[in-house]
Structure 1
Amino acid sequence: MEEALTHPEKHLGPVPGGKGSPGRMNAKGISVFYGATDDHTAIAEVRPPVGSMVVTARFDVIRPLRLLNLNDLASMRPHRGLSYFNPIRRSLTERCAFLKDLQRQLTMPVMPDSAESGYLITQAIADFLATHEKLNLDGILFPSVQVQQDTSPGQNVILFNKASGVERLEDTQKAEYVSLWEPDEDRLVYYPEYWEAEPKDSDQSSRYVPLVPPPEPSLRLARDGIVIHKIQGVRFSTEIDPVHYVPWSQDRKYHGFR
């Protein structure tokens, strides 16, 4: 936790290119930014166990971004003024059905053990959208499968690599002092804080130039908006399917799929 607070932009922002595990919208080693529109959704997405701690932070958008909202795809319908006998309506209906299925594919739950293979379809679609010149998308807004939609209005957001840049990634931007505990008479009190370092002149900054230049910054971490959450409980919503019991009898003729 202290290491993360020493330079939160590096630890809470996207991982460097070539590192990181595969995700719903990125292949292994492809650096993207995953976030959410509220703390509750962000915490649910990392699936924390009870007793663990989760750090969330607010990122401010500092340049215009063009995002595809997947919620809008499922709600698209042909114009009601089009006749059902109009061939154009049939074509539009088929396209709307495709977009609805696309939204379902992109938000389908995948178990952690199956992530590497289960995300192949969504990774391919995201890569297509990220590189499509005419669409010119910076990212995607999509509902979280970890949160009931009627309990939280929050959404997930992915910013493609070209739009995932974060300000203050230089080593000169590290904090001067970080502490999680504060002495109070004969005991320690949990009081996380970090002190920003004195700004350095350009002459003191690193002259290192990376081989692959980082993307133009789109985000700025609000250093006064970092919160540590102690996970004390987890809620589940379930759909119940009873197991039908069939007692033995001489008249029973088959078993298995009906």
Structure 2
Amino acid sequence: MSEFVSWRDYWIFASDVIQKRRFLRTDRGEAFLAAVTESSKKRVNLMPAGTELWRAQRGCNYAPDSDSGTERPVPFPAERMKPLADRAQEGRVNPKGIACLYLANGPDTAISETRAGIGERVSLANFRTKADSRLVDCIHQQEEPLYLDEPDSASKERAVWSYMNRAFSSPVGRAEDRADYAPTQVLAEVFKGLGFDGIIYRSAFGTDGYNLALFDLDSADPVGRWVYRVDDVAYKVSIDR
């Protein structure tokens, strides 16, 4: 049975993929992916058909308002609320050109993920899944432990998955940082090859929210759409000692 060598295995793998080589992996990298494959069997989340999920995009359309003689904001059309299959931008889970459907478990999380500023309008849609989905679950490992010495095998595994969850959750802002997507894209390719339908991971915006990336764009469809305006953005902070 494949096991992780170190609690730092994800970061070693990520460094190799970003700085050295993505497609021709080292023996250590292959061993890491074998351990991920083995341990993913214990992290299966079965999501039933009909599950309600959410997706938001910055902006909206405008339509004439006969009562006021002006224009009123309306949400993007249903087809606009899904990524374009032939023009997909890269993300944490997908490389450029291969689209996947990013969703959230609630409207607040979906809107937060857009990082819209105060005064901006956001189109929000709720989606329903069409079929049962088999997802790899990263959300239950959040403690991100640090060790001076190598812990036991179970602790190594928990640590690696917690840092994988963090990697999927962390937003990348600037275009020049997009190379940081590569490690999680490789993991997503592995999960897809294992027959998973998608990935669940924590949102970086709030403690209760989580995101899903579904590999098949047609696995869920929008059933309702609205326009929201961002009135406030609140941060809760504490001194980091």
Pairing of 1:128-147 with structure 2 (within 5 A): 128-132=190-194, 136-145=195-204, 147=205
Q: Which stretches in structure 2 are left out of the alignment for 5+ residues?
A: 1-60, 64-72, 144-150
TM-score (norm 2): 0.60
Aligned to 1:121: 183
Match of 1:254 in 2: none
Match of 1:28 among 71, 76, 96: 96
Residue-pair matches, total: 165
* Distance of 1:124 and 1:39 partners within structure 2: 29
1:236 aligns with 2:229: no
Match of 2:211 in 1: 156
d(CA) in 1 for partners of 2:94 and 2:237? 29
Residue 229 of structure 1, CA deviation = 0.3
Asked if 1 retains the 8 angstrom alpha-carbon contact of 2:84 and 2:99, the reply is yes
Q: Over alpha carbons, which structure has the higher Rg?
A: 1
Aligned residue number for residue 16 of structure 1? 85
Secondary structure of 2:94 counterpart: coil
Aligned partner of residue 20 in structure 1, secondary structure: coil
Q: Matches of 1:45 and 1:114 in 2, distance apart?
A: 20
Where does structure 1 differ by over 4 angstroms across 4 or more consecutive aligned residues?
A: 2-7, 239-242
Alpha-carbon displacement from aligned partner over 1:236-258 (angstroms, at most 9, x marks no partner):
2345469xxxxxxxxxxxxxxxx
Matches within 5 A, 1:1-258: 1-2=61-62, 8-17=77-86, 19-74=87-142, 90-132=152-194, 136-145=195-204, 147-149=205-207, 153-160=208-215, 163-165=216-218, 218-222=219-223, 225-240=224-239
Q: Summarize the Cα distance change of 1:50–1:94 in structure 2 as closer, same or farther, 3 Å threshold.
A: closer
Q: Report the Cα offset of residue 115 of structure 1.
A: 4.3
Spell out, residue by residue over 1:127-184, the C-alpha distance to the aligned partner (whole angstroms, 9 max, x if none): 221122xxx2101111111x220xxx22111101xx221xxxxxxxxxxxxxxxxxxx
Displacement of 1:117 after TM fit?
1.6
Change (3 A) 1:107 1:7: closer
How far apart are 1:122 and its partner, in Å?
1.3
- 8 Å contact from structure 2 (residues 172, 178) kept in 1: no
- The structural deviation recorded for 1:36 is 0.7
Query: Could you tell me the percent identity over the aligned residues?
Result: 26
Partner of 1:168: none
TM-score, length-scaled by structure 1: 0.56
Letter in 2 for 1:127: E
